[in-house]
Structure 1
C-alpha cells in the first residue's frame, strides 16, 4: 500500500520567510486565465498561514475538545431537525433496548412516522385521514400511540400490569418522560421506560398489520407480546449481571425493580 507523508507534501509547497508563507508550486505548464486568478487568491490565503512543526491532524469544531464523537453529531442533528422543543436537544438512549426501538421513538418524536396526518401534509392523496383503528379522529403520532381508544386500552393493561393506575399516557412526551406514579430507583426507571418504548413499538407494529394485512386487533395478544419482548430485551442486556425470573416479571414488575440492582432477580 502506498503511504503518503502529508507533512512532506505541505512543506514542499509552502515556503516561509519572515513570518509569511508563500506558495512554492511546480507546474507542467504555467497557469493562465481563471486558474491564474484562483492561484493568486490561494497565495493570498497562504500568506497568512503559520505552519507549526507538529504533525498534521483533523480538528472537529463541533466539540470544544476538537475531537469528533457520534454523540456530538447526534446532538447537532437533533437540534437542527427538532428545533426549540424542550426535548429536542436529545432523546435519551436506553441501553436495555435494541437500536430499532430507539430509532422508532426518535422518528416518532420528529413526526416522521407515516401516519395519515403527516402523509396528507406531504400531498399524498388518501381516501381518509382518520385513524384506521378507531375511525373517530385524525391519525396523528400522538393519537395512534396514545389517544386512540384501541391504543388507550393497551396502555390501560400495561399500566395495570405495572400498578400505575394513576399514570396518564396521552402523547409521546408521556412516553419519553418518566412520569411514574411511584418512586423508582435509576435501575427501575430504565426498565419502566424500556417497557413504555416497547409498548409504542408494538402498537405501531400491530397498527400496520391491521392496515396492510387486515389482522385482527387483539389487546390480549398484544399485551402478551409486550411482556415477552420487554422481558427478552431486558434479559439479554442484563445477562452478565443478573437474570430476571419470568414468573415474577409477569406478575409484578414493580416489585422486581424496587430493590437495588445487586439484589434483584437472582435465580
Structure 2
C-alpha cells in the first residue's frame, strides 16, 4: 500500500481535493454536494422586501415543492384520503398544479393581469411566475407586480386551506379581493414607495 508514497521532512498538512487550491471551504462542500445529488442551483428566488416573511417563505417552499399538498403527503406516506386538487378536483394536488394548472389559479392570474395592466401570465411551474423582470415599466411597477404575484400564491393557498379545514368553498372574486387589499396595504405601508393611492 505504501509503495508509491514518498516521505519528506516537511510538516504534515491537510489537503481538500474538491477545491483546486486544496483549501477546505463551505462553498466547495456545497458545490460537491450539489454535484453528487445531480442538482443545479440555477433558480434563485428573489425575496420581496415589502412582503411579510411568511409570504416570502411560502413562495420559496412552493418553488421547491415542499408545501403540504396532497401529493407531498402521499410521497411521505401520510394518509390524508383523496390527494386531488381541492379547488378544481381535476388533477393531483401539487404546488405546480395548484399555482399554475388549476382552473382557479388560471382565473386568478387572468384577473391579476387585467388589474395590473400586464401581459397574460403563462406559467408551467411555480418558478415561471417570476415574470416581474420582463414587465415593461418602472422599477416601482416591477416591484409591485413581484409582490402581487407572491400575494396571489399566498391567497390561493389560503383559499385551499379554507376548503380543506373549514369546508368554505373557494370563490375567485374573494381571492382577487384579498390580493388587491393585501397588496395595497402592504405596498403602501411597507415598501419604500410612499403615497400610493387606491
Same fold (TM over 0.5): yes
1:234 aligns with 2:190: no
- Tell me the SS of whatever aligns to 2:132: coil
2:109–2:121 Cα contact (<8 Å) kept: no
Instruction: Indicate the residue corresponding to 2:6 in structure 1.
Output: none
- Tell me the SS of whatever aligns to 1:204: helix
* 2:157 alignment partner, one of 204, 224, 240: 204
Instruction: Indicate the residue corresponding to 2:175 in structure 1.
Output: 222
Aligned counterparts, 1:1-267, within 5 A: 61-62=25-26, 83-87=39-43, 90-178=44-132, 180=134, 182-238=135-191, 242-246=194-198
Instruction: Indicate the residue corresponding to 1:53 in structure 2.
Output: none
Higher relative CO (Cα under 8 Å, sequence separation at least 6) belongs to 2
Q: How many residues align?
A: 174
1:55-105 per-residue CA deviation (whole Å, 9 max, x = no partner) reads: xxxxxx547xxxxxxxxxxx99xx699931520xx3112112111111111
Structure 1 residues not aligned, in runs of 5+: 1-46, 50-60, 64-74, 247-267
The structure-2 alpha-carbon separation of the partners of 1:177 and 1:164, relative to structure 1 and needing over 3 Å to count, comes to: closer
Structure 2 residues not aligned, in runs of 5+: 1-10, 14-24
**Aligned mates of 1:170, 1:149 — CA distance in 2:** 13
State the Cα distance separating 1:237 from its structure 2 match.
Answer: 1.9
Instruction: Indicate the residue corresponding to 2:20 in structure 1.
Output: none
1:211-236 per-residue CA deviation (whole Å, 9 max, x = no partner) reads: 11011211112111100101111111
2:110–2:120 Cα contact (<8 Å) kept: no
State the Cα distance separating 1:133 from its structure 2 match.
Answer: 1.6
The structure-2 alpha-carbon separation of the partners of 1:82 and 1:134, relative to structure 1 and needing over 3 Å to count, comes to: farther
**Aligned mates of 2:58, 2:120 — CA distance in 1:** 26
State the Cα distance separating 1:184 from its structure 2 match.
Answer: 2.2
- Tell me the SS of whatever aligns to 1:203: helix
Coordinate RMSD, CA, aligned: 2.7
